[in-house]
């Protein structure tokens, strides 16, 4: 399968998890659409604040390339912000071309809660006509590691 992994990350945990999953997908071609906040902490917060206020001008050009057409499966990973994904999740789903009819997997990273975030993500993805075939939450208060991500990737790799 050709797999596109789409993720947003501010402190690197979701990126690390996405890469852990990808490392196990040895039977498949994996590409990424990453949205990573970079810079010092205060700069990251300012960038996040723009996204949370629906200002995506910094990544407008990237959004133009967000197209599910050439992929069999789209994996979407997000942090958890108060039982929901960040607002950029909705924007990504709204902007993704040719998503209708595709298979999708959603995953979230969290520190202590956030179970409802996956329900939110699943409903949004299905609202765009894609089919959610699996989901996972990677929750660790401190060091997240990649053990569970690799385990999830291994299961997917064998399917
Ligand atoms: C604004 C904000 C809100 C958050 N809210 C929650 C939350 O409600 N529940 C939770 O478990 N973690 C929460 N977290 C922690 C993140 O979801 C968690 O650390 C995530 O893995 C970060 O992903 P990242 O490193 O890819 O940015 C929050 C973090 C931030 C910055």
Could you tell me the CATH number of the domain that includes residue 63?
3.40.50.360
- For the segment 38-66, what is each residue's pLDDT rounded down to a tens digit? 999 999 999 999 999 999 999 999 999 99
Structure confidence at residue 78 (pLDDT): 98
pLDDT beyond 90 at 79: yes
86 pLDDT tier (thresholds 50, 70, 90):
very high
Q: Tell me how far apart the alpha carbons of residues 95 and 104 are, in angstroms, rounded to a whole number.
A: 15
pLDDT beyond 90 at 159: no
- For the segment 91-136, what is each residue's pLDDT rounded down to a tens digit? 999 999 999 999 999 999 999 987 899 999 999 999 999 999 999 9
Strands 73-79 and 29-36, by their bridges, are: unpaired
- Answer left, alpha or beta for residue 11, where phi above 0 means left and psi between -120 and 50 means alpha: alpha
Domain count of the fold of the chain: 1
pLDDT beyond 90 at 2: yes
Structure confidence at residue 113 (pLDDT): 86
Q: Whose CA is nearest to atom 7 of ligand 1?
A: 82
Q: Whose CA is nearest to atom 23 of ligand 1?
A: 79
Q: Look up the domain containing 141 and give its range.
A: 2-158
**By percentage, how much of the chain surpasses pLDDT 90?**
96
**What size, in residues, is the chain?**
159
Q: Whose CA is nearest to atom 18 of ligand 1?
A: 110
pLDDT beyond 90 at 73: yes
Q: Which of 77, 110, 117, 121 to mutate to test the pocket of ligand 1 (most atoms within 8 A of CB)?
A: 110
Contact 19, 36 (CB under 8 A): no
Which protein residues touch ligand 1 with a CB less than 6 Å away? 9-15, 79-83, 109-114
Q: Is the pTM of this model over 0.85?
A: yes
Q: Tell me how far apart the alpha carbons of residues 40 and 62 are, in angstroms, rounded to a whole number.
A: 22
């Amino acid at each position: 399968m050709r797999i596109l992994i789409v993720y947003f990350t501010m402190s690197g945990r979701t990126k690390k998890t996405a890469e852990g999953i990808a490392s196990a997908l040895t039977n498949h071609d994996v590409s990424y659409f990453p949205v990573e906040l970079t810079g010092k902490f205060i700069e990251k917060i300012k960038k996040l604040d723009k996204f949370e206020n629906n200002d995506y001008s910094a990544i407008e050009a990237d959004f133009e390339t967000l197209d599910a057409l050439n992929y069999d499966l789209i994996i979407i990973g997000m942090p958890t912000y108060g039982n929901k994904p960040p607002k950029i999740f909705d924007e990504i789903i709204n902007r993704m071309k040719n998503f209708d009819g595709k298979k999708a997997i959603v995953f979230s990273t969290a520190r202590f809660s956030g179970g409802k975030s996956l329900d939110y993500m699943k409903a949004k993805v299905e609202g765009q006509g894609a089919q959610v075939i699996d989901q996972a939450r990677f929750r660790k208060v401190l060091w997240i590691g990649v053990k569970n991500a690799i385990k999830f990737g291994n299961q997917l790799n064998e399917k």
